[in-house]
């Protein structure tokens, strides 16, 4: 038996030595905003299996791959001023990250997950107060939700964190709750509060050694994906933000850059340090690529590309905000994306006396905030079906010195449905979006008409949506302490 143990230990030591030589970085990630991790049927908890979802490497790697593609595309455009050959670009990304036909050059492992705190409901309490009814927008539902508690549980204690009504006021969670009964709500509302989950993430390469530029590109794109998308779901709306601590990195410069980000105390410093990280990564990508684009870009690229201040931009739009304002931040970010909010602004700027639901929002092009955006057979449809297109506009938070900063970002690209229609209760019930004038709710007297779709309408609609998004968040957070 002792001989077998010795053989096992020797094999383990060989494996550890090999991994140590191929390790690119080791990060500790701690969530700083409410985190929703969807599993089977997009629910974070299974009542039947009694399983609570944890962060997965597949999700982290998928987002990393997306940002890596955006970096390489940006490098080609910045270097050549031409549209990339997207098929060849995807093949290049697959050489790094793998595909169904090729093994990945990168190995991502989650070595340790510590569940420090969770938020969840009490099923008996839910069933007692809700009975058999499902969540609907009715006058009495708010009183019922106010009576239901969200409990914070840790190893040491259990306490009431907030009411269910406070979570219902966050637009994206409200959307998930509508139509759910007590059991479905119990499965849905298993969340990690700030500092509720800590993950140690390690990244290895199958090659024994990568050159400096490949190392910079890979680590930089990973860090960027974590800053802007964290882990879990609804990350474009502020959920699942993380604080990154670098335990090990083959390139010491990155450790310094990340420390600068989390040490920033002024919005201009924070923006500069994030942009410094982006520029280091982008320049590495430019040195790696040896082939240019294939044709002229029309207004903006076909797919998202990191070309700073042209087709990609970031802004620090609010902060510092107190540690206790984390739910308010999610409400505000969500509110900035709602058509009803845009209508309220329109009414205020036009000095109308009517209520938002009484006016048409057709000329307010909120499709630029992502699809689907439809309900009850009204809203935006792609070729008469519910189209899907993630928002090109998002917001994340950076948490430092016991305070939050809200950082927004925007991509401009033409990958939208060929035929996008708006269906309303008007006499001309269905209209293609390019036949509808574009109006900025903050400047309602100016209407943009006859914009060619997608080359003219998409960039303009995204610009308008991004400016409204930022202005709403700045306005709403000015009252937060």
Determine the pLDDT at residue 3.
60
Distance, CA of 322 to CA of 402 (rounded, Å): 7
Distance, CA of 406 to CA of 336 (rounded, Å): 13
Measuring CA to CA, how many Å separate 58 from each of 38, 45, 65? Answer: 13, 18, 10
Q: Hey, what are 191's tokens? A: 């969340």
Distance, CA of 164 to CA of 186 (rounded, Å): 11
Domain boundary among 296, 321, 349: 296
16 located within any domain: no
What is the H or E stretch that residue 403 is in? strand 403-411
Q: Hey, what are 383's tokens? A: 């070729």
307 located within any domain: no
377 and 247: one domain? no
Supply the range of the domain harboring residue 157.
Answer: 122-188
Determine the pLDDT at residue 412.
97
Distance, CA of 326 to CA of 304 (rounded, Å): 29
pLDDT digits (tens, 9 = 90+) for 242-294: 999 999 999 888 889 999 999 999 999 999 999 999 999 999 999 998 766 67
333 and 451: one domain? yes
Total Cβ atoms within 10 A of residue 3: 7
**Contacts (Cβ under 8 Å, ≥6 apart) of 15:** none
% of the chain with per-residue pLDDT over 70: 93
65 and 152: one domain? no
Is the predicted pLDDT of residue 51 greater than 80, yes or no? Answer: no
Q: Hey, what are 116's tokens? A: 């420090």
pLDDT digits (tens, 9 = 90+) for 438-450: 999 999 999 999 9
Determine the pLDDT at residue 293.
66
426 and 339: one domain? yes
The residues pairing with 112 across neighbouring beta strands, listed in sequence order, are 200
105 and 238: one domain? yes
289 located within any domain: yes
Q: Hey, what are 317's tokens? A: 């739009």
Distance, CA of 159 to CA of 144 (rounded, Å): 20
Distance, CA of 12 to CA of 14 (rounded, Å): 5
Distance, CA of 446 to CA of 439 (rounded, Å): 6
Number of domains, the chain: 3
pLDDT digits (tens, 9 = 90+) for 419-431: 999 988 776 788 9
Determine the pLDDT at residue 19.
57
Distance, CA of 220 to CA of 358 (rounded, Å): 48
342 and 455: one domain? yes
15 located within any domain: no
155 and 229: one domain? no
47 and 179: one domain? no
Distance, CA of 352 to CA of 446 (rounded, Å): 17
Crossing angle of the two packed helices 339-350 and 457-477, in degrees rounded to 10: 80
Q: pLDDT confidence of 99, banded at 50, 70, 90?
A: confident
Distance, CA of 154 to CA of 187 (rounded, Å): 18
pLDDT digits (tens, 9 = 90+) for 123-153: 999 999 999 889 987 777 889 999 999 999 9
321 and 421: one domain? yes
Residue 254, CA atoms < 13 Å, CB-side half-sphere: 28
127 and 202: one domain? no
Give the residue ranges of DSSP H helices in 189-246: 212-229
178 and 200: one domain? no
Nearest-Å Rg of the Cα atoms of the chain is 24
> How long is the chain?
481
Distance, CA of 98 to CA of 95 (rounded, Å): 6
The residues pairing with 26 across neighbouring beta strands, listed in sequence order, are 202, 248
Residue 440, CA atoms < 13 Å, CB-side half-sphere: 17
258 and 407: one domain? no
Determine the pLDDT at residue 206.
86
CA angle 452, 457, 460 (to 5 degrees): 140
Determine the pLDDT at residue 208.
66
């Amino acid at each position: 038996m002792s001989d077998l143990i010795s053989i096992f230990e020797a094999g383990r030591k060989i494996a550890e030595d090999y991994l140590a030589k191929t390790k690119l970085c080791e990060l500790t990630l701690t969530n700083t905003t409410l985190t929703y991790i969807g599993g089977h049927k997009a629910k974070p908890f299974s009542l039947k299996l009694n399983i609570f979802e944890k962060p997965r490497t597949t999700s982290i790697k998928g987002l990393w791959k997306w940002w890596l593609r955006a970096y390489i595309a940006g490098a080609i455009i910045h270097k050549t001023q031409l549209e990339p050959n997207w098929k060849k670009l995807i093949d290049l990304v697959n050489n790094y990250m793998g595909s169904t036909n090729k093994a990945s050059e990168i190995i991502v492992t989650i070595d340790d997950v510590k569940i420090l705190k969770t938020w969840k409901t009490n099923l008996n309490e839910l069933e007692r107060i809700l009975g058999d009814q499902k969540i609907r927008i009715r006058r009495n539902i708010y009183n019922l939700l106010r009576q239901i508690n969200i409990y914070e549980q840790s190893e040491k204690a259990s306490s009431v964190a907030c009411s269910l009504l406070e979570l219902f006021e966050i637009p994206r969670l409200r959307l998930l709750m509508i139509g759910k009964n007590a059991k479905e709500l119990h499965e849905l509302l298993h969340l990690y509060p700030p500092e509720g989950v800590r993950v140690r993430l390690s990244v290895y390469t199958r090659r024994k050694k990568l050159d400096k530029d490949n190392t910079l590109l890979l680590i930089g794109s990973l860090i960027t994906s974590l800053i802007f998308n964290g882990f879990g779901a609804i990350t474009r709306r502020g959920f699942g933000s993380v604080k990154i601590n670098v335990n090990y990195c083959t390139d010491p410069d990155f450790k310094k850059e990340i420390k600068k980000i989390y040490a920033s105390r002024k919005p201009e410093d924070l923006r500069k340090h994030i942009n410094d990280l982006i520029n280091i990564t982008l320049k590495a990508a430019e040195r790696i690529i040896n082939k240019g684009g294939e044709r002229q870009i029309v207004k903006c690229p076909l797919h998202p590309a990191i070309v700073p201040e042209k087709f990609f931009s970031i802004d620090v739009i609010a902060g510092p905000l107190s540690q206790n304002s984390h739910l308010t931040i999610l409400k505000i970010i969500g509110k900035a994306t709602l058509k009803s909010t845009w209508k309220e602004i329109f009414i205020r700027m036009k000095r109308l006396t009517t209520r938002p639901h009484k006016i048409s929002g057709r000329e307010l092009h909120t499709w630029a905030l992502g699809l689907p955006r439809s309900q009850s057979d009204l809203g935006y449809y792609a070729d008469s079906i519910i189209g899907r297109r993630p928002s090109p506009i998002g917001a994340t938070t950076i948490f430092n010195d016991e305070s939050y900063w809200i950082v927004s970002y925007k991509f401009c690209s033409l990958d939208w449905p060929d035929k996008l229609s708006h269906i309303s209760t008007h006499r001309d019930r269905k209209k293609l979006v390019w036949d509808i004038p574009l109006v900025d709710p903050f400047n309602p007297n100016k209407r943009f008409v006859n914009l060619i779709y997608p080359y003219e309408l998409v960039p303009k609609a995204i610009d308008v949506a991004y400016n409204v998004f930022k202005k709403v968040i700045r306005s709403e957070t000015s009252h937060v302490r």
